[in-house]
Amino acid sequence: MRTTALLLLALAAVTSAVTYHGYKVVSVTPRTTAEAQVLQKAVQLLQLQQWTHPHRLGVPVDVLVPPSLVYVFLSGLQAKHIPVQVKITDVQALIEEQVATRTPSTSLPRAFDHTQYHTLDEIYSILDGVEADYNSLVSSYTAATTYEGRPIRVLKVSSEESDTKPVIWIDCGIHAREWISSAVCQYILDQLTSGYGSNSDVTALLDTYDFHIMPVTNPDGYEFTWSDDRLWRKNRFPSGGALNCHGIDPNRNFDSDFGGPGTSDQPCSDIYHGTAAFSEKESQAVRDSVQALGSRVKIFFTLHAYSQLWMTPYGYTYDLPDNYDEQYRVSKVGVDALIAVHGTEFIYGNIADVIYMAAGGSTDWAYDAAGIQYAFALELRDQGSYGFLLPPEQIVPTGEETLAGIVAAINAV
């Protein structure tokens, strides 16, 4: 009886907030520049939200379409003979289905559970439990406190007390709605902690490197995706504007061509860059933590979703970094190892060419300002069948392939 009541409360929390009943995710594949322009004009005119962006012809672009605009959007594209496909027929139904599969609990978990997505309180409770269970291996620190007062936590996994080994940095969940990102960070933490001493590969890895892992870089936004809007992207800082908007995109807030291409100065935009570089606690948390580690940081990974991409600098320019050939070589090794696990196809290359131009990102900052010679941004599963709503049964396979790719890249360096 109690389990049923908890499940109903969870469903009520979702349905009482922003809802997406009848919303569809439509995949459009422009084949010519003219078709791409038609799509862009339609998106702008109808004020639609793009889940992915056109980066080259022949690649599908996913667009979220409300029920009132489905007919006009689809009929307009079909009249121009532009290929379209409905990938998700009812976004809210998919959201509610995922909530319904959660196993309610009367207490916060203290151990990893990769069968479902977790609330922020659950994640932090799990991190507490891991730190207690593996106290000789794991310690934690607070990188910053958010606008709404939540800690941005980092777990350090190290086989030694001394801070002398090179460091692998991994952050997840800088965009709130990308739940699979934070789930994969938890999976990686689980494999590192449970595998040390029992798995020779993990043991060798931790005897060589320390790991600093930030599982939820944007806790205010992540909490908001559970309480109010499952598809929220930004943080929750009151950004103002005529509509009293909230939120700044933390991954447009770094000092890497701040305010450049792929950003917006409109507070209501999903890619609003904020008033100044590092104005936000989330970008400050990454910056301050990485800078405190100094030259020990050898590889920087930031995990996003979705599109199945492994990317290197730069995002703010089509120019390539001086060591691009080396970063490209390591990317290939990582992607080959990732694909070998489950056959999940990934594309690799520099951000601007592989996905789109985007200034103010953490990967470019890590390479340019922090001097980290290997800086990678990964877009995890999938390619739009579920998009930001990847089912929980894909957490483990996504974690397996991502970790395999990361370990191979580390070894290649």
Of 260, 294, 279, nearest to 364 by C-alpha is: 260
Residues belonging to the active site: 379
Nearest-angstrom CA–CA distance, 334 and 355: 18
Nearest-angstrom CA–CA distance, 191 and 399: 10
12 CB contacts (<8 Å, ≥6 apart)?
none
